[in-house]
């Protein structure tokens, strides 16, 4: 008897220690003193540059289910070892549900859905050589008005220039990503409709979302090309404020 993807769904949970990260303040007296040394100025500038995009956010627990080719067991397309989530597919794999016209995927479908507020996806990402034309992170508009897009933003990996990360609109965000870890943060203010993307804590893209919807995060590998595609993730975190 064949089991459908839904009957094989695995629900897991990641919980981080909740904490509110606050920016340290500088006294007005110190700020107004005209004889601040160049070394002190450099130190203050360095601190400002080093401030994390998560400052002022609260780390929040999240849950997810796994989506994978409907006719394969999860272990055939996913492993979790040494705190690393590894997901892969082949272009010949079946879609996530029998009869679906979508491309093959192995993805973590986050269960936390939202319509407003501020939400941030945060993880280290590793794209192996050969992965080409595959989406590895997206904000899916699971409920959206007819005629509007199914996603607010997608991040895709291509083989050019030693591995290239592009946004859904073709904007190049980083090259030379093959076989190296990089950190990706995707901040969505659903109340103002603004999405900011950071790579290694540097702002690389600001875009508007696609209008009102119910959304959730997804990460993994959703393959639109040929051959084999893979993505790995570690230190996955969910931030809200």
pLDDT at 6: 40
E strand or H helix at 228: strand 228-240
- The residue ranges of the chain whose pLDDT is under 50 are 1-37, 40, 47
pLDDT at 18: 37
pLDDT at 24: 39
CA dist 22 to 61, 84, 236, Å?
19, 29, 21
Q: Give the model confidence (pLDDT) of 27-86 as tens digits.
A: 333 344 344 445 545 555 554 556 899 999 999 999 999 999 999 999 999 999 999 999
């Amino acid at each position: 008897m064949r089991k459908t993807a839904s009957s094989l769904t695995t629900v897991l949970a990641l919980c981080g220690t909740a904490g509110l990260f606050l920016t340290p303040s500088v006294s007005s007296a110190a700020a107004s003193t005209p004889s601040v040394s160049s070394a002190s100025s450099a130190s203050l500038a360095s601190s400002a540059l080093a401030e994390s995009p998560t400052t002022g956010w609260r780390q929040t627990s999240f849950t997810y289910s796994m989506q994978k080719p409907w006719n394969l067991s999860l272990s055939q397309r996913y492993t979790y070892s040494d705190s690393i989530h590894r997901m892969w597919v082949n272009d010949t794999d079946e879609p996530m549900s029998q009869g679906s016209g979508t491309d093959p995927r192995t993805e973590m479908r986050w269960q936390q859905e939202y319509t407003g507020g501020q939400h941030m996806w945060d993880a280290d990402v590793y794209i192996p050589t050969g992965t080409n034309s595959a989406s590895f992170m997206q904000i899916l508009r699971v409920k959206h008005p007819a005629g509007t897009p199914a996603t607010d933003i997608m991040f895709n990996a291509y083989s050019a220039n030693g591995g290239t990360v592009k946004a859904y609109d073709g904007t190049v965000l980083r090259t030379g990503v093959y076989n190296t870890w990089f950190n990706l943060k995707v901040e969505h203010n659903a109340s103002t409709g603004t999405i900011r993307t950071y790579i290694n804590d540097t702002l690389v893209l600001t875009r508007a979302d696609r209008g009102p919807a119910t959304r959730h995060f997804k990460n993994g590998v959703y393959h639109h090309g040929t051959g084999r595609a893979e993505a790995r993730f570690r230190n996955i975190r969910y931030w809200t404020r």
